Structure 1
Amino acid sequence: HLDLWLGFTAHSWILDVGRTLLTLVLPEDWTPLNRPGAAEYLHFLFNISTPLLLLRMLERTPRALPPTAVHLGIIAVVMGTSLHLTADSVTRRLLLIGYQLHLSVRENPVMRSLQPPSLIDAFELLCYCDETLGHLMWFVPLFLVLFLFFGGCFRHRRQEDRMPAAAWLLLVPSAAYYWYLVTEGQTFILFIFTFFAMTATVMRQRRRGLVPDANGLFMLYSFSAALVLVAVWVAFLWSDGVLRKKHPGLIYVPQPRAVYTLHLRQDQPAPSGS
């Protein structure tokens, strides 16, 4: 399904990764801060096209899901991406006045100057809706659809397939996007469970005389390469104390935007006193 993977890759890089890059590189005065900017318009398109893309993938899965489950999943994706749109728009404005993504909400200097201090609770709620609730509603259906699609990517051993040259060219941007989902989206648990489920499916299907076809190989190689990229990323930032504090716990996967505001961003204006 080269057309499907090409569309998925282009959609992901232009509308998802592209809006994040626009947020970081566009001039501050490009659009009024009280109106949507270029990044928000890309996010609008992403919110509309993502459910359509997932429905297209479901059409090519071997097992038809109950219509109610499909409808609930699509509604969850729309709600999750909408929460993400709202929170990302506010975060972009906060970055312009000195908000630092490598710090927690309460540790940010720009937040300490808020009056009354209880306003910080509102921003913590916004962060929760984005990074926890919104991500779960967005990424759980996404990885579930990917796994369901993978379940139909097998054929008999005597018809063992190889990936075409075009698929090898798409492998790098596809793996890089999964790396982006794991790191920026903080979806390591969902990603690794999906990868383990895919591996278990391969082992079970091999006992039945089935092997992955070109689409299955493409997904396996993409997930494997993404896992290597995540491992290198974590190893490179393993001893960073600030990021360790930002991401406590057993699973330590720093966000690229947090690395940007900590190590790469030069123009961090000091917040004005109240």
Structure 2
Amino acid sequence: MALAADPIFLAAANPPAGFEELSGTQQSLVDIYFGNRYIGSQLASFSPGIIELPNPAELVRQIGNLNDPTLIVSTLSGELNSHADLVCLTDASQNCGILETPIAGVIFDESRFRVDIFINRRFMLTRAADVRKYLPPSDAGFALMQNFSAAVSGSSAEGSDNSYTLNGLTMAAWEENSLYWSWDYSDTNHFSVNQFYGQRDFEGLEYNAGLLSTSGFGLNLTSDQPMVGLRINSSDNTREDLDFSGGMPVEIFLPTRGRVEVHKDGRLIDSAFFEA
């Protein structure tokens, strides 16, 4: 068998004819993200392995909460390594999409014209959530609402028994205080009162006093019935910090069904099995 004298493929340091522009510097509008949050678009210059952002100071201003913004601006200025090898090519790609950097850096996905900025957490400020726990004292004036309903049964036949009941619910309120009155009138029992009590809901506590109806969300020791007394219970109606009572959801991708353990400060705080 005779072998060809010349190789089929030739290694070259320069691009082939007609492809010179692809290796040169290009300009395009790119979308810039930080923490998967869109912060702006800029006309960036880039070439293979390199990208330059025209206004890093504006990006740092949009990010905010940095303890040394001048250093971050300086680090993101000039030509930056685009870290194209860290771009996630598919949704199933692993060990990609995250840049470990001593100060700051970027990952540039040229196929989507997307730049993700990464900043070492040493330079990120943390602060307490600036939200009050309860609503401020109410300045609402007097209000009154009256509901009526009726139930009628019977027949037009001679000698049949006809019956009716008229139900009413009266509610009056002023600031955090309210008055509830539930009553009915029927042709057999005439006038009767089911509930008549005052209520105050303020800073997480609800106070009720008067003719109350027992309730326990399925934990009643006796059947619901009216009784005269005083009731104090917790209430979330005046809370403003409920959005901060839970944590940020964490997405975990498992190749097979497995157990996930959550540790904090060396302590196991949760363990559960999850499907793939």
Q: Report the TM-score when normalising by structure 2.
A: 0.27
Q: Which structure has greater helix proportion? A: 1
Q: Higher Cα Rg: structure 1 or 2? A: 2
Q: Which structure has greater strand proportion? A: 2
Structure having greater relative contact order (Cα 8 Å, sep ≥ 6): 1
